[in-house]
């Protein structure tokens, strides 16, 4: 059953009033594929706009806090922790991992996914002048803890190493 639809099939915000407050955590990822020269420029600190990873990290954290402003049916949440990690992945990609935490009545999957996505978009924005062919890919939930549905760990996609 889709929880964001009422009995007439209309979109509505889920009422979490009667749900217990529990610890909840979600981890999401995104990748930005680029030319090896672009990645080298980022990791060497040679980008004329400054530290790409630092700016993307701040953008991801800020985005997690603004998720309910961006996704219409998301509840505004009092996040207690947001961590966004960026690292080179091979010679042509950046891997972004976002982790969001809180004690609350609803999960933080959308906040983690939003943080990873906006961090990826920020990398694209900062580097588009030198590499317009970058690809943002594999944005997905990796893990979710807490709440009634329990613990979720994503399976590796087919062909992943």
Residues with a known catalytic role: 125
Contact 38, 134 (CB under 8 A): yes
Identify the burial level of 129 via C-beta atoms within 10 angstroms of its C-beta, where 0-12 means exposed, 13-18 middle and 19 or more buried.
exposed
Beta-strand pair 135-145/22-33: antiparallel
| 62: β partners | none
Which stretch of DSSP H or E encloses residue 25?
A: strand 22-33
* SS3 assignment, position 137: strand
Contact 35, 94 (CB under 8 A): no
Task: Please state, in angstroms and rounded to a whole number, the distance separating the CA atoms of residues 71 and 114.
Answer: 9
- Which tokens is 126 given? 């900062």
């Amino acid at each position: 059953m889709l929880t964001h639809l009422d009995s007439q099939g209309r979109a509505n915000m889920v009422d979490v009033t009667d749900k217990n407050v529990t610890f909840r955590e979600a981890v999401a990822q995104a990748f930005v594929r680029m030319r090896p020269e672009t990645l080298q420029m980022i990791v060497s600190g040679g980008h004329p706009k400054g530290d790409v990873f630092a700016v993307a990290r701040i953008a991801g954290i800020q985005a997690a806090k603004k998720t309910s402003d961006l996704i219409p049916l998301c509840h505004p949440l009092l996040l207690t922790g947001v961590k966004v990690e960026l690292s080179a992945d091979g010679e042509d990609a950046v891997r972004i991992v976002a982790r969001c935490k809180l004690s609350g009545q609803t999960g933080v999957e959308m906040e983690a996914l939003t943080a990873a996505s906006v961090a990826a978009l920020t990398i694209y924005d900062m580097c588009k002048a030198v590499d317009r062919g970058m690809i943002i890919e594999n944005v997905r939930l990796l893990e979710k803890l807490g709440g009634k549905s329990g613990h979720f760990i994503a399976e590796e996609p087919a062909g992943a190493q």
